[in-house]
């Protein structure tokens, strides 16, 4: 009989395969139907907005009614919205269905994140589990992005059907009997303690928000640029797969390194690299240049995501509540990024969203540094007075 955490890893991989397929198929179909930049931005934003609000409630709800029950209920609802999206070619109707999609998946992600953290007996064990969890869902997203593009090129509805099959698989996995996870934690002393009271959790939240806002805007608007440049659907899907491949490398690295748990400057250096990557999309015309930019942005996005969920679950007692807030930050970032990038693209030019996202990323990274500086200065002043 499998352990609980193994079922969680498998369900996360299947669910993000499906999510990647839906995100790609909906936006690509809309772009080929002639959707405007604002409409593409709205499609990327609507599900993130409903998701970002809903997880604030579903995370707490999972603390009360049980992780498995809420996760399975969310998956069943998700399955229905995927089929509905596949059966329409009307952009306004797609917006309605994607709003429902965001609500439905909010029952799944905070539940399984809280479930994963419930039985972690140390910071070291939590770090190891979150590393494997992030690797699992990223592999799912990577495969979903790449394969869905190829399937969509042959038959668009088949792409939605493939996503539905993956969600059905996730439902079956979560309903399988499982053994409770034993305490397999490493010696807590083998990892340096996370500095509390120095702004790590809140800085990670802001960094995660910053990356999801800017990369969310880029991914929402790229179908329009890809269509104009004549980039095929399968190549476009491969670009998104490379974005997740970059995240996958980050998750492998962070699971084996410890310095990022006690220092914030690497987080800021990584975001500076992402600024260059996003700006380069605005000037590039070749496939390889887009590919490099997506890999770099994906790596940094993986870093900020992992820092956010790790510091959240490491510090907060109510795992469902903490997971819900972490996911709300993510959803709000994608919501605002997609809307703002869509507005900029329609107001100025097809390339302008990428410069806009790079500029926002730079400003918000500097804001993180300023906040931490004044926080630590205030702490030193209080210590000197005492």
Q: How far is CA 287 from CA 151, 242, 280, 291, in A?
A: 20, 12, 12, 6
Residue-level pLDDT at 283: 93
Question: In whole angstroms, what is the distance from residue 243 CA to residue 138 CA?
Answer: 10
Across 16-55, b (16+ Cβ under 10 Å) vs e yields bbbbbbbbbbbbbbbbeeebebbbbbbbbbbbbbbbbbbb
DSSP 3: B
Residue-level pLDDT at 1: 61
Question: In whole angstroms, what is the distance from residue 107 CA to residue 58 CA?
Answer: 6
Question: In whole angstroms, what is the distance from residue 203 CA to residue 286 CA?
Answer: 35
Residue-level pLDDT at 188: 45
Q: Is CATH 1.20.1250.20 the right assignment for the domain spanning 4-177+195-385?
A: yes
Task: Region of 230 please: left (phi>0), alpha (psi -120 to 50) or beta.
Answer: left
pLDDT tens-digit profile, the chain (386 residues): 677 888 999 999 999 999 989 988 998 888 888 888 788 888 878 898 899 899 989 988 988 888 889 999 999 999 999 999 999 888 899 999 999 999 999 999 989 888 887 766 677 777 788 888 888 988 898 888 778 888 988 898 999 999 999 999 999 999 988 777 665 544 444 555 555 655 678 889 899 999 999 998 998 889 889 888 998 888 888 888 889 889 989 988 988 887 888 888 999 999 999 999 999 999 998 999 999 999 999 999 999 998 988 888 777 767 777 788 888 888 899 889 988 998 998 888 999 999 999 999 999 999 999 988 887 777 776 666 66
Question: In whole angstroms, what is the distance from residue 321 CA to residue 336 CA?
Answer: 22
Residue-level pLDDT at 186: 46
- What does the domain layout of the chain look like in residue ranges? 4-177+195-385
User: What crossing angle do the helices spanning 4-32 and 200-229 adopt, rounded to 10°?
Assistant: 40
Among candidates 265, 108, 251, 225, which has minimal Cα distance to 171? 108
């Amino acid at each position: 009989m499998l352990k609980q955490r193994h079922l969680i890893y498998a369900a996360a991989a299947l669910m993000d395969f499906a999510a990647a397929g839906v995100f790609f198929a909906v936006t690509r179909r809309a772009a080929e139907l002639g959707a405007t930049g604002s409409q593409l931005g709205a499609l990327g934003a609507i599900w993130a907005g409903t998701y970002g609000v809903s997880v604030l409630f579903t995370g707490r709800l999972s603390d009360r009614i049980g992780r498995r029950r809420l996760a399975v209920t969310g998956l069943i609802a998700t399955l229905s919205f995927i089929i509905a999206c596949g059966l329409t070619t009307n952009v306004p109707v797609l917006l309605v269905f994607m709003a429902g999609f965001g609500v439905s998946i909010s029952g799944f992600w905070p539940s399984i994140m809280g479930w994963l953290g419930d039985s972690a007996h140390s910071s070291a064990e939590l770090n190891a589990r979150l590393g494997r969890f992030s690797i699992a869902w990223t592999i799912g997203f990577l495969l979903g992005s790449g394969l869905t593009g190829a399937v969509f090129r042959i038959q668009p509805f088949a792409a939605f059907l493939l996503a539905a099959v993956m969600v059905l698989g996730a439902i079956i996995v979560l309903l399988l009997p499982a053994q409770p996870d034993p305490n397999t934690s490493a010696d807590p002393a083998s990892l340096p303690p996370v500095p509390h009271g120095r702004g790590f959790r809140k800085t990670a939240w802001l960094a995660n928000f910053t990356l999801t806002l800017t990369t969310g805007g880029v991914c929402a608007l790229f179908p329009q640029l890809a269509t104009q440049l004549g980039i095929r659907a399968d190549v476009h899907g491969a670009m998104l797969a490379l974005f997740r491949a970059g995240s996958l490398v980050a998750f492998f690295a962070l699971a084996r390194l410890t310095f990022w748990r006690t220092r914030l400057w690497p987080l800021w250096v990584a975001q500076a690299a992402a600024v260059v990557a996003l700006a380069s999309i605005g000037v590039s015309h070749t496939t390889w240049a887009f590919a490099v930019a997506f890999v770099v942005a994906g790596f940094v996005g993986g870093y900020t995501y992992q820092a956010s969920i790790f510091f959240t679950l490491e510090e907060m007692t109510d795992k469902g509540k903490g997971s819900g807030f972490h996911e709300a930050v993510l959803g709000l970032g994608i919501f605002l990024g997609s809307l703002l990038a869509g507005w900029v693209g329609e107001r100025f030019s097809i390339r302008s969203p990428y410069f806009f996202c790079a500029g926002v990323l730079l400003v918000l990274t500097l804001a993180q540094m300023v906040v931490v500086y004044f926080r630590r200065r205030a702490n030193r002043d209080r210590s000197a007075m005492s």
